[in-house]
């Protein structure tokens, strides 16, 4: 019979292999699911994983991958800081909304003035908006010992209400015939987060995501804070002896992850989305949690995981409209990815052993 | 700026190539905001799509994508349909407006039809239905049927479309029952069964014995059935809840419009238009009034339907005042479409406030 034997140390090899193994298993089981729905599984898998990258219209989808992946990566990098230290910010979606509201609010306050300083101000406001929203669970935790998981999650719903309020009230487009939604920032050059090089999909949010990856990599390999984060996560007591101030670390992690989520929201609202609206948030803050874990909380892993998830989103949409696959099947396919990742994770920490039953 | 333009023309050229490939078959795309099984709004649009397939057979191929979020994702979904060679694309939610216009500017040879919006272009038409005509009939039945004199209204978003519906229903409930009171709950969603069910239950707890809904799922029907109050089907007939709680319904029938517009593309006669049709051409239908409604009330409701269809009666006919008491329509005066399309005020008598 098969027995699990705990490894003395997590296997380095399997740490790299399990995500790929999870993708392969997802393809096989997902393919079976698609076949059961009466679709050609090979064609479906090809549509999801191959066509966006190398198909006929790859020139359009490749840039879109960056557009879709950038907010995921930016948010996930921030979350990974806290997750490594055992600080669980589940409310990135709310911080994303607040960043977008603050950024767009500053931009719209200047409308219709055209000036070069407007966009940088919006970036700062976006980061501050997300930071402030992240600091609420941080301060409540350090002052009153509340649970940051619950508080940050609840604040998502508060942020959603505020978003609806803003889309219907303060930020509503005065020329919009009474319909909810702000002015479209894409039509306001000073506030528009346009593509830096047209046709590449690279807007400032993509640049920020890449900078965040590099910054996080250096932080974890070279910087004292990165060391403290890892120590706090792996051995909280030892961390305290080593002089880590847990309250300060909580505030830094929640503040930083909030700021990055806020930036993601700001870049999204001023670029691809264009306007503040009631349905502005589409779940990047929650999907980023999957990205962070799929990427093993490692900056480079998160970069790849963000791109992979973006691929399943875009390829999944194509499969929906080209092959007539139901949206639910695509969502299930994406869910499988995380499910199998967690399932095969066992191989990282455990060894499989064949054991013959012992004779007594 | 010029780079953007170069890209746009490159995309356009490829779009053209894509269209050329599929030239024997006309490809019609549909972008849906909810799942096709929502039993309401999206379901009816999909029925329209199926009617197009049935009507044209091999000459037309349809594609669709369901549950597309409004915003950046919608723009990509529409672009991808245009890239794949769609000749005509229906975007079936208000929130797709700017995305539709953006994509349309990059694909001048693809025709776009945006439901419920107000922005048009050379290759973008808008279309919507005068649902308020159906709301007036609902209001009449509701006003006659209520015993508690409290009518609950599940509203989605405070946009003119929804406000118009509340006003139309209220005016006609009040006309037959001066004591009637409307309670409105805003759920800020078009489709969220648990939220809609919660809203229905909350309204029933506040004494409502008639539930009107401007959201797309059947969850409020189930809640009404449990509480033993009456309800009306929305967007779709929701006949599985008849004869009670569902006593009637407003049905969106998009099929004739979708078939006509597809035909126009095939003939090459398609032009940018603004369509706002009601009961008369059949875009709005009144679902069978069930036996739970007394015959006399049923006859009145059907008579009103005929008057609206023949153009003899307009649901917004004066004298009507706005909520704050200022006069809006004088005796016999009929509301103009411009005011109706931008309606952002309640009529006199409604006690709630429109969320700001």
Quick one: pLDDT at residue B356? 64
Q: What is the pLDDT of residues A46-86, one digit of tens each?
A: 999 999 999 888 889 999 999 999 999 999 999 999 999 99
- Asked whether the predicted pLDDT for residue B4 surpasses 70, the reply is no
Contacts of B76 in chain A (CB under 8 A): 64, 314, 317
Q: What are phi and psi of B326, to 5 degrees?
A: -70, 140
Residues 6+ apart with CB under 8 A from A341: A18, A19, A22, A293, A294
Reported confidence tier of residue B200, pLDDT bands at 50, 70, 90: very high
Taking an 8 Å cut-off on Cβ atoms, the answer to whether A277 and B95 are in contact is yes
Question: What ipTM did this prediction achieve?
Answer: 0.81
Residue, of A347 and A40, whose pLDDT is higher: A40
Quick one: pLDDT at residue B23? 55
Taking an 8 Å cut-off on Cβ atoms, the answer to whether B71 and A60 are in contact is no
Mutate to test the interface with B, among A184, A273, A332 (most CBs of B within 10 A): A273
State the distance between the two ends of chain B, measured CA to CA, in whole angstroms: 37
Q: What is the pLDDT of residues B303-339, one digit of tens each?
A: 999 999 999 999 999 899 999 999 999 999 999 998 9
Tokens describing residue A21 = 């193994």
Q: What is the pLDDT of residues A117-170, one digit of tens each?
A: 999 999 999 999 999 999 999 999 999 999 999 999 999 999 999 998 899 889
- Asked whether the predicted pLDDT for residue B123 surpasses 90, the reply is yes
Q: What is the pLDDT of residues A256-287, one digit of tens each?
A: 999 999 999 999 999 999 899 888 998 999 99
Distance (Å, rounded) from C-alpha B355 to C-alpha B316?
23
Distance (Å, rounded) from C-alpha A1 to C-alpha A23?
27
Quick one: pLDDT at residue B284? 94
Measure in Å the smallest separation between the Cα of A330 and chain B Cα atoms.
Answer: 11
- B69 interfacial to chain A (CB closer than 8 Å): yes
Measure in Å the smallest separation between the Cα of A148 and chain B Cα atoms.
Answer: 26
Quick one: pLDDT at residue A359? 57
Instruction: Find the residue in A nearest to B2 (Cα).
Output: A198
Taking an 8 Å cut-off on Cβ atoms, the answer to whether A179 and B94 are in contact is yes
Measure in Å the smallest separation between the Cα of A187 and chain B Cα atoms.
Answer: 11
Taking an 8 Å cut-off on Cβ atoms, the answer to whether B77 and A321 are in contact is yes
Taking an 8 Å cut-off on Cβ atoms, the answer to whether A274 and B118 are in contact is no
Tokens describing residue B256 = 């004739």
Q: What is the pLDDT of residues B246-292, one digit of tens each?
A: 999 999 999 999 999 999 999 999 999 999 999 998 899 999 999 99
Size of interface A-B (CB pairs under 8 A): 99
Read off the pTM.
0.83
Quick one: pLDDT at residue B162? 93
- Asked whether the predicted pLDDT for residue A20 surpasses 90, the reply is no
Measure in Å the smallest separation between the Cα of A183 and chain B Cα atoms.
Answer: 11
Q: What is the pLDDT of residues B88-121, one digit of tens each?
A: 999 999 889 999 999 999 999 999 999 988 899 9
Q: How large is the average pLDDT for residues A187-204?
A: 88
- B15 interfacial to chain A (CB closer than 8 Å): no
Buried b (16+ CB within 10 A) or exposed e, B316-349: beeebeebeeeebbeeeeebeeeebbbbebbbbb
Reported confidence tier of residue B18, pLDDT bands at 50, 70, 90: very low
- B90 interfacial to chain A (CB closer than 8 Å): no
Taking an 8 Å cut-off on Cβ atoms, the answer to whether A275 and B98 are in contact is yes
The secondary element (H helix, E strand) that includes residue A174 is none
Q: How large is the average pLDDT for residues B222-226?
A: 93
Of A178, A199, A320, the CB nearest to B7: A199
Give how far Cα A321 sits from Cα of A54, A351, B27, B29, Å: 18, 43, 12, 9
Tokens describing residue A353 = 């052993």
Q: How large is the average pLDDT for residues A90-116?
A: 95
Measure in Å the smallest separation between the Cα of B32 and chain A Cα atoms.
Answer: 11
Residue, of B12 and A61, whose pLDDT is higher: A61
- Asked whether the predicted pLDDT for residue B16 surpasses 50, the reply is no
Average model confidence (pLDDT) across chain A: 90
């Amino acid at each position: 019979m098969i027995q699990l034997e705990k490894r003395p140390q997590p296997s380095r090899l399997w740490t790299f292999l399990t995500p790929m193994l999870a993708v392969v298993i997802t393809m096989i089981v997902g393919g079976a699911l698609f076949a059961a729905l009466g679709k050609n599984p090979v064609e479906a898998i090809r549509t999801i994983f191959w066509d966006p990258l190398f198909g006929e219209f790859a020139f359009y989808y490749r840039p879109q991958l960056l557009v879709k992946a950038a907010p995921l990566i930016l948010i996930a990098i921030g979350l990974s800081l806290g997750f490594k230290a055992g600080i669980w910010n589940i409310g990135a979606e709310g911080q994303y909304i607040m960043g977008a509201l603050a950024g767009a609010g500053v931009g719209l306050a200047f409308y219709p003035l055209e000036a070069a300083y407007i966009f940088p101000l919006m970036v700062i406001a976006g980061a501050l908006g997300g930071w402030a929203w992240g600091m609420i669970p941080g301060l409540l935790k350090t002052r009153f010992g509340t649970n940051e998981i619950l508080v940050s999650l609840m604040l998502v719903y508060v942020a959603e209400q505020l978003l609806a309020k803003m889309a219907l009230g303060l930020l509503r487009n005065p020329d919009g015939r009474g319909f909810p939604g702000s002015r479209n920032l894409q039509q306001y050059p000073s506030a528009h987060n346009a593509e830096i090089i047209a046709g590449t999909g690279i807007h400032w949010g993509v640049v920020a995501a890449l900078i965040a990856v590099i910054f996080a990599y250096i932080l974890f390999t070279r910087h004292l804070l990165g060391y403290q984060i890892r120590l706090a996560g792996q051995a909280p007591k030892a961390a305290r002896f080593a002089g880590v101030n847990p309250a300060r670390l909580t505030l830094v992690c929640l503040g930083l992850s909030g700021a990055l989520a806020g930036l993601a929201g700001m870049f999204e609202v001023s670029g691809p989305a264009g306007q503040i609206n009631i349905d502005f948030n589409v779940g990047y803050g929650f999907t980023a949690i999957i990205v962070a874990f799929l990427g093993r909380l490692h900056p480079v892993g998160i970069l790849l995981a963000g791109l992979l998830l973006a691929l399943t989103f875009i390829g999944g949409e194509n499969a929906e409209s080209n092959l007539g696959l139901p949206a639910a099947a695509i969502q299930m396919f994406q869910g499988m990815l995380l499910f199998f990742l967690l399932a095969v994770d066992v191989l990282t920490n455990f060894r499989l052993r064949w054991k013959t039953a012992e004779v007594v | 700026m010029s780079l953007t333009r170069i890209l746009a023309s490159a995309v356009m050229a490829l779009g053209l190539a894509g269209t050329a490939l599929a030239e024997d078959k006309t490809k019609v795309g549909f972008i849906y905001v909810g799942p096709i099984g929502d039993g309401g709004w999206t379901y009816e649009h999909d029925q329209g799509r199926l009617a197009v397939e049935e009507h044209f057979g091999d000459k037309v191929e349809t594609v669709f994508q369901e549950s597309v979020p409004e915003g950046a994702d919608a723009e990509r979904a529409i672009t991808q349909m245009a890239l794949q060679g769609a000749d005509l694309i229906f975007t079936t939610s208000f929130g797709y407006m700017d995305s539709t216009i953006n994509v349309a500017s990059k694909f001048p040879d693809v025709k776009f039809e945006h439901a419920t919006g107000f922005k048009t272009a050379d290759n973008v038409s808008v279309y919507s239905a005068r649902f308020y005509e159906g709301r007036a009939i609902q209001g009449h039945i509701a006003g006659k049927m209520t015993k508690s004199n409290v009518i609950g209204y599940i509203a989605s978003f405070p946009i003119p479309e929804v406000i118009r519906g509340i006003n139309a229903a209220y005016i006609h409930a009040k006309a037959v029952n001066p004591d009637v009171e409307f309670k409105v709950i805003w759920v800020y969603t078009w489709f969220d069964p648990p939220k809609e069910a919660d809203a229905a239950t909350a309204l029933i707890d506040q004494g409502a014995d008639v539930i009107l809904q401007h959201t797309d799922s059947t969850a409020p029907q189930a809640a009404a059935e449990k509480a033993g109050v009456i309800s009306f089907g929305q967007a779709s007939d929701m006949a599985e809840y008849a004869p009670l709680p569902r006593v009637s319904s407003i049905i969106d029938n998009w099929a004739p419009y979708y078939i006509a517009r597809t035909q126009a593309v095939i003939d090459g006669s398609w032009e940018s238009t603004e369509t706002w049709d009601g009961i008369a051409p059949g875009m709005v239908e009144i679902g069978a009034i069930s036996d739970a409604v007394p015959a006399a009330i049923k006859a009145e409701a059907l008579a009103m339907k005929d008057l609206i269809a023949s153009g003899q009666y307009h649901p917004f006919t004066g004298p009507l005042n706005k909520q704050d008491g200022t006069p809006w329509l004088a005796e016999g005066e009929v509301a103009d479409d411009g005011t109706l399309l931008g309606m952002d005020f309640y009529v006199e008598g409604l006690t709630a406030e429109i969320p700001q």
